[in-house]
Amino acid sequence: MSNLSKNFFIVAAIDFGTSYSGYAFSTKDDFKLNPLKINCKTWTGGNLQSLKTSTCVLFDKEKKFQHFGFDAEDKYSELGDEQHDSYFFKGFKMELFNQLQLTRDFELKDISGKKMLAMDVFSACIKFLKEDLLQNIKTSLNWATETDIRWVLTVPAIWNDVAKQFMREAAVKAGIAEEKMIIALEPEAASFCCRHLPMSAMNDGASFVPFQPNSKYLVFDAGGGTVDIAVHQAVFGGGIKEIYAANGGDWGGTYVDKAFGRFLEEIYGVDVIDEFKKEQPSDYMDIFREFEIRKRTFIPSKSGAFTMKPPIALNKMFKKKHNKHVKEHIQTLPQYMDAIKVIGDKIKIDRTVGEGFFKQACEQAAQHLQKTIFKRRITRRNNCTHGRRILRVRIVAKNDC
């Protein structure tokens, strides 16, 4: 950090996520006037529009980079027989989770089992995001050059030092100068952002002014792969002090996706889903894109039935294999016969089943929070009023949850 260049006019941040990735940038002058004036890109994949794109990458048979994000998904699904020679990686970031030893010859398996050097995969993704970001900056700020930029690359706080160093080296290989780069922990970045967000009044009427010096707060950062929890204290001068070391687990949005995937296997069978995934990869990805939209808008206390429209090819494949419509099959499943209805080409899923997709991830995170935070005496005697803790929780939704 001592060699970090202080000569910059723009801060550009890359959020390399497990499920979704994106970037943002802001100038120092804009930050002084309005810290929330941040430039981001809107990505489009099917019916999904998001400030992040899917963390997927496609290489050709020579292991040369071809596409990233939603484009990689679309191009891969269009390859046909050429898929067998191409390398397609999805959801690979978590391979670094809890890796005690990461060497430069560490390899990743693509979705078909073919291997590539992890360093080559990660650096190619970061390079794409970096170059796309630079193009956006130059479009918005025609005076800007790459030397004007300080780069920020976010990583989960629960990663070990080996994984964090791996990401740093991947960024350097992608063309980001080390003296221009900061590796930032995701919950700490979220913590600084929270300090500038409008805060709603506390429901219990307690007198609490957020982020005033000495006030403590908890950041619950629910991402695509991990849940990171940190407890900070605001200090004079605008800084923060770590009260409780960042911690968490791998209970992010992919946990919910896996639950939905298991649901599809229960309805159609593992054999049908595996065959469908292999023969109709585009339709299979569209199912999860549609689920992503439902997942982001689902509110247990308010949402009604969870509706999905399975691809025609999936229903046909099921009928061909079992000689009956999936509607008839659902009526033979005790756990779903009253909770799922097939109406036309749609499946109407009861709200309680929809809640079940989130259940395990939420329970794991809640149990961890209770065990490691609230059962430990974080707040001291001088931070209590009539025995009541005044630690406040700020939850910020992320696009890759």
Is the pLDDT confidence value at 98 over 70?
A: no
How confident is residue 298, by pLDDT bands cut at 50, 70 and 90? confident
Residue 390 and residue 384: Cα distance in Å, rounded? 6
Q: 10, 26 in Cβ contact below 8 A?
A: yes
Please tell me the predicted confidence (pLDDT) of residue 388: 34
> pLDDT (tens digit, 9 = 90+) per residue, 138-187?
999 988 888 899 999 999 887 888 888 999 999 999 999 999 999 998 88
Please tell me the predicted confidence (pLDDT) of residue 103: 72
Q: Which residues contact 205 (CB under 8 A, 6 or more apart)?
A: none
Please tell me the predicted confidence (pLDDT) of residue 387: 32
pLDDT: which is higher, 378 or 43: 43
Please tell me the predicted confidence (pLDDT) of residue 4: 79
Rounded to whole angstroms, what are the CA distances from 311 to 265, 285, 346, 360? 15, 11, 9, 27
Is the pLDDT confidence value at 382 over 70?
A: no
Average pLDDT over residues 118-140: 95
> pLDDT (tens digit, 9 = 90+) per residue, 38-94?
999 999 887 778 899 999 999 999 999 999 999 999 899 888 778 889 999 998 888
Among 22-36, 157-171, 196-210, 314-328, the minimum mean pLDDT is found in 196-210
Please tell me the predicted confidence (pLDDT) of residue 282: 78
Query: Among residues of the chain, what percentage have pLDDT more than 70?
Result: 87
Please tell me the predicted confidence (pLDDT) of residue 100: 57
Is the pLDDT confidence value at 372 over 60?
A: yes
In this structure, the strands spanning 392-395 and 216-222 are: parallel
Residue 314 and residue 322: Cα distance in Å, rounded? 12
pLDDT: which is higher, 376 or 212: 212
All domains of the chain, ordered by start, with CATH? 10-188 (3.30.420.40), 208-401 (3.30.420)
State the SS3 of the chain.
Answer: CCCCCCCCCEEEEEECCCCEEEEEEEEHHHHHHCCCCCEECCEEECCEEECCEECEEEECCCCCEEEECHHHHHHHHCCHHHHHCCEEEECCHHHHCCCCCCCCCCEEECCCCCEEEHHHHHHHHHHHHHHHHHHHHHHHCCCCCHHHEEEEEEECCCCCHHHHHHHHHHHHHCCCCHHHEEEEEHHHHHHHHHCCCCCCCCCCCCCCCCCCCCCEEEEEEECCCCEEEEEEEECCCCCEEEEEEEEEECCCHHHHHHHHHHHHHHHHCHHHHHHHHHHCHHHHHHHHHHHHHHHHHCCCCCCCCEEECCCHHHHHHHHHHHCCCHHHHHCCCCCCCCCEEEECCEEEECHHHHHHHHHHHHHHHHHHHHHHHHCCCCCCHHHEECCEECCEEEECCCCCC
Q: Which residues contact 75 (CB under 8 A, 6 or more apart)?
A: 58, 66, 67
Burial class (CB in 10 A: 0-12, 13-18, 19+), 293: middle
> pLDDT (tens digit, 9 = 90+) per residue, 240-297?
888 887 788 888 888 899 999 999 999 999 999 999 988 888 788 889 888 888 888 8
Please tell me the predicted confidence (pLDDT) of residue 64: 97
Is the pLDDT confidence value at 397 over 50?
A: no
Please tell me the predicted confidence (pLDDT) of residue 208: 52
Average pLDDT, the chain: 83
